[in-house]
Amino acid sequence: MAGGVFAVEGNDSGFAGRLTMSVVITCIVAASGGLIFGYDIGISGGVTTMEPFLRKFFPSVLRKMKATEKNLYCVFDSQVLTSFTSSLYIAGLAASLVASRLTRALGRRATMVLGGCTFFIGAVINGAAVNIAMLILGRILLGFGVGFTNQATPVYLSEMAPSKWRGAFSTGFQFFIGIGVVAANGLNYGSSRLEWGWRLSLGVAALPAIVMTLGALVISDTPSSLVERGKLAEAEQSLRRARGVNSDVEAELNSLIKTTEVMKAANQEPFKTIFERQYRPHLVMSVAIPFFQQLTGINVIAFYAPVLFQSVGFGNDSALMASLILGVVNLCSILVSTGLVDRYGRRALFLQGGTQMFLCQDLVEVSSHQSIHIHLCCLPFL
């Protein structure tokens, strides 16, 4: 759900790539970076439906909500409320434009730590907010944290995981996103009855940031990143820990060094290289897949689920519970894909997932006469 991240393949093809406990623990710690993104996906829509939150920061919206019989939340066009929800994603977009350079220059691990610290500061500011300026500043910092982490974590996982299990390990990031969504929706449901519940929901975002940051501090960077930055001794140590202390990693290390040299030579003219005929299919798919994923509208459902459920007549508690159920279903589907991705391949899951989304969106369209209206009136909140 709303991952929007693609990772490069690692470089251990042709090598044993034995699955060790060190690799498992390291990848679990790294994948926990998905918690911060998932938590924000689940928390923001629920918070904007809480009356104490609206009463303090957006009283005009609350008054209009109470004045309407159908509680069609989306029809009230508040540009300030839009700024609160969208500032994170605009900041995340800006961060992603520089995150790749930071990931190469500082390493995957350092970028994850930077993202976690930035997200933590933003969560603290949001939880303690006394005015809209603090809310938006906190959201911007959260966006920078998400942008840095979403860049570094999938790359880290793909480079550390043995090729045989790379698909399953790479979905670990999405799995933790799912956990974050469920945790956020559950907290929203429990805290919605409290006058200060919105502070709890926004402030608890600091906890997944702490988990990810502390975890990133105790793991090593990937061998590929260390070789790329000329730290060959550290790269060998990292590779030995990943493959087993008694493993012969000399051949794999030499392969990484050779691959890095080829990549550096290609990066001297990156735009010329990427548009060469042999790479055009890869370029088209790398752009088309995330592009059409976003056009499905899944982000609207994920980010604004409580708002959408309210708009079709659910009460506040029912809308939050429905969002929680949606998150649990998403998490279960991630578990299924994790077990199938390396057995049946990525293409099979693309075909199955695309067909399922097509059928389910048609079902939603047919079953709800308000669905078209909801999609149109929610556009100002994107």
DSSP-assigned states of every residue in 176-203: HHHHHHHHHHHHHHHHTTSTTHHHHHHH
pLDDT for the residue 215: 87
pLDDT for the residue 138: 93
Query: Taking the chain (382 residues) in consecutive chunks of 10 residues, what is each chunk's mean pLDDT?
Result: 46 55 79 84 83 87 71 61 85 88 88 93 93 93 92 86 75 85 87 88 91 87 87 85 72 82 67 77 84 77 76 74 83 81 78 82 66 41 36
Tell me which amino acid residue 79 is: Q
pLDDT for the residue 177: 86
pLDDT for the residue 15: 54
75 alpha-carbon distance from chain centroid: 28
Residues 6+ apart with CB under 8 A from 370: 311, 312
Tell me which amino acid residue 117 is: C
Global confidence as pTM = 0.78
Fold for the domain defined by 21-219+304-381: Growth Hormone; Chain: A; (1.20.1250)
pLDDT for the residue 270: 58
pLDDT for the residue 259: 81
Domain parsing of the chain, residue ranges: 21-219+304-381
Tell me which amino acid residue 238 is: S
CA 366/CA 58 separation, integer angstroms: 34
pLDDT in tens, 268-302: 555 677 777 888 888 888 888 888 877 777 777 77
pLDDT for the residue 17: 52
Q: CA nearest 219: which of 112, 106, 105?
A: 112
Tell me which amino acid residue 52 is: P
Q: CA nearest 126: which of 141, 144, 109, 105?
A: 141
Residue with tokens 């975002």: 205
CA 30, 284, 340, 343 torsion-angle sign? negative
Q: CA nearest 99: which of 34, 144, 146, 151?
A: 151
In three-state secondary structure terms, 194 is: coil
pLDDT for the residue 122: 94
pLDDT for the residue 129: 93
Q: CA nearest 185: which of 169, 201, 162?
A: 201
Q: What is the b/e burial string over 18-52, where b = at least 16 CB atoms within 10 angstroms of the residue's CB?
A: ebbebbeebbbbbbbbbbbbbbbbbbbbbbbbbeb
pLDDT for the residue 380: 37
